[in-house]
Structures are given as C-alpha cells and as structure tokens.
Amino acid sequence: MANDQLLDLTQPQRDRLAFVELRVRFIGEIRRQDLVSRFGIQSAAATRDLAVYKDLAPGNIEYDAKAKSYLIGPHFKPVFEFPPERVLSWLTQGFGDGEPTHIKAWVPSETPARLTQPALATLAYVTRAIHQACPLAIEYHSITSGRTQREIVPFALLDNGLRWHVRAYDRKAQEFRDFVITRIRRAEVLKGKPVDAHESSAQDIQWSRIVELELVPHPDQPRPEITEMDYGMQDGVLRMKLRAATAGYILRKWSVDCSPDHSMRGHEFRLWLKDCLAIYGVRNAVLAPGYRAPDQQRQEPAPSEGSYEDA
C-alpha cells in the first residue's frame, strides 16, 4: 500500500519523505525546520510532508509537543530500502539523503565490495544513542568472551577500512573500547538514563589525542619516486594527523612498515613510518605492521586485529 501511495507523489516529495525517514530512523527525531533548511521549502510545505509521511507509515513518527519535534514511534517499520553504504555516507558525510534510486553512472567504475555491512536495524539504535547522548544496552558477541550483556555509552562511528565499529565507554570493562557493529544484537536505547562525566568522549584519551605521523617510501622498495607520486608526498614525506584511536587501523590498512629498522618484507610494504616513537602510547599500535614498543626486549609479531577488537 505504501509503495502505491509513493507512486502518486512527485520525485521531489519522495526525496523529502525519504529524508524524513532517514532522520527519524537514525537520529530519532525530525523538526519541521529540518525540512525547511534542507530543501528550501516553506513551513507549510514541510508540515504537509510530515502529514503525508504519517499517513504513508502510520505509527512511524509521533509528535512531541514539549520538544516540538516528531519522534520515532515504538513500532517503526521502514518504507524506504536504503543500501547500508548510502546510509553510512549520509551519517558520516552529510549528503546523499534523497530517495534510493538507481541512477546511471557518468563513467563506468568498479569499487571493491565489503565482505561485511552492519545491519541497518542495529545501526539505527547505535546512531540514535549517539545523537541523543544516551547509554545503549546491547548483547555483544565476542570471540574470547562469547555472548555478554553490556551497557555502553557510544559517541562515534569508526571505519577501519574492513568493518564499522562504534567507539564507546564500556560500563562492564570501565574503559573506552571499539565495538564491531555486526557483533551487536538486541540493542536498546536507554533514553533518559544518565551518562556520567567520566563516560563522555572528552575523557577518552585515545580519542582526544592527535598523533602526527611522517610516512616515507620504504627504503627497501625500488623507485621511491613512484611512491612519492602515488601518495602525493611533499619533499618525499607524507604527513598525517590522526586520532590515536584510529592510528593502528589506518597503518595496518595501508600496510605501513612500523618497525624501527624497516624490516618488513613484501611488495605491499611501500611505506615506512619514519619515527616509530610517534605512536608510542597508542593503544592499538599493536595492529601496526612490525611495531614494537621501545621497552620490548625482542621482536614479537603484532597481535591480530581480532585480538585487539574483541572487546
């Protein structure tokens, strides 16, 4: 029935209704002014759009007179089917929020597909908890601990290039950790439950700390000038500023040799971290290829990514 009603609407109105659903599903609320600001329409038109969406999907949104906004209904059922990649680009980059349609590309292209994508139903709970600054009750599945019940205080999404995580304070472990979203089940936003000061992102040292890295062509790879071209280096150096909480993931993704003596071998190691001390104290530095803390007496292989992530 909803699809039949959508066909009777103009494309611009379907785009606005898709925006309404995205806001409500993943942020938890929408105001009339959000439509006015996003699409440049009059307040009366925004009011009509919200009324049309309520008629299209009864129970999906409820008006809260006190907050003067529409909130997600307890029995929400999506009308639009969005690909996870598009939802994540909208959440993290703020564009691409129209109705999902298959648009012909201007030029042929292929993008390597991810092997894993978070379920949108789970992602929606996570993002609403982030936006509303609420704790989130979850059932979490860990390789080492199995299934556990936890309360976390999420504040950011984190993409390590292979899968999506949520950065959060873990009340069980009493520390900040990364949780793989595909391992979360039975999530519930604990709206109205207080968040203590020590659970806020401002207290996450690894998140707040910025590390400055200098990457250079690997000394054992031929033709360093090609590497300089590929990575847009200036004076033979690629300078990066990263959150400490993301550094290990990124260095691993780009196969950066982080050993002090550039001892990693293989064609994939085209970059070398010029100063390995730059990531000293970074908790997930264990993920960086070849990294050894200065106080290590012998070379040991870095733990696998799973061993660090398995909260």
Tokens linked to 29 = 């609320």
Q: Where in the chain is the domain with CATH 2.30.30?
A: 120-203
| In the predicted structure, residue 300 carries a pLDDT above the cut 70 | no
| In the predicted structure, residue 110 carries a pLDDT above the cut 90 | no
At 238-282, the pLDDT tens digits run 999 999 999 999 999 999 999 999 999 999 999 999 999 999 999
Give me the pLDDT at residue 112, please. Answer: 73
Give me the pLDDT at residue 298, please. Answer: 52
Confidence of residue 127 (pLDDT cuts 50, 70, 90): very high
* CB-based burial, 39-59: b 16+ in 10 Å, e otherwise: bebeeebbeebbebbbebbee
Q: Whose CA is closest to 182, among 306, 25, 28?
A: 306
d(CA 29, CA 98): 17
Tokens linked to 37 = 């600001």
Contact at 8 Å (CB) between 27 and 8?
no
Q: For residue 268, give Cα distances in angstroms to 254, 255, 298.
A: 8, 6, 24
Tell me, letter by letter, the H, E, C secondary structure of the chain.
CHHHHHHCCCHHHHHHHHHHHHHHHHHCEECHHHHHHHHCCCHHHHHHHHHHHHHHCCCCEEEECCCCEEEECCCCCCCCCCCHHHHHHHHHHCCCCCCCCCCCCCCCCCCCCCCCCCCHHHHHHHHHHHHCCCCEEEEEEECCCEEEEEEEEEEEEEECCCCEEEEEEECCCCEEEEEEHHHEEEEEECCCCCCCHHHCHHHCHHHHCEEEEEEEECCCCCCHHHHHHHCCCECCEEEEEEEHHHHHHHHHHCCEECCCCCCCCCCCCCEEECCHHHHCCCHHHHHCCCCCCCCCCCCCCCCCHHHHHCC
Give me the pLDDT at residue 103, please. Answer: 60
Strands of the sheet containing 175-180, edge to edge, are 175-180, 164-170, 146-159, 136-142, 184-189
CATH topology of domain 2-79: Arc Repressor Mutant, subunit A (1.10.10)
| In the predicted structure, residue 102 carries a pLDDT above the cut 80 | no
| In the predicted structure, residue 297 carries a pLDDT above the cut 70 | no
Cα 148–chain centre separation: 23
Give me the pLDDT at residue 93, please. Answer: 83
Contact at 8 Å (CB) between 227 and 271?
yes
d(CA 151, CA 243): 24
pTM: 0.87
| In the predicted structure, residue 305 carries a pLDDT above the cut 60 | no
Average pLDDT of the residues of the chain:
91
Confidence of residue 308 (pLDDT cuts 50, 70, 90): low
Q: Where in the chain is the domain with CATH 1.10.10.10?
A: 2-79
Helix 43-56 and helix 11-27, axial crossing angle in degrees, nearest 10: 70
Give me the pLDDT at residue 97, please. Answer: 79
- Specify burial of residue 75 (Cβ count, 10 A radius: 0-12, 13-18, 19+): exposed
| In the predicted structure, residue 306 carries a pLDDT above the cut 60 | no
Confidence of residue 70 (pLDDT cuts 50, 70, 90): very high
Which has the higher per-residue pLDDT, 100 or 1?
Answer: 100
Is the domain defined by 120-203 classed in CATH 3.30.70?
Answer: no
Phi-psi map region of 293: left, alpha, beta (phi>0 left; psi -120 to 50 alpha): beta
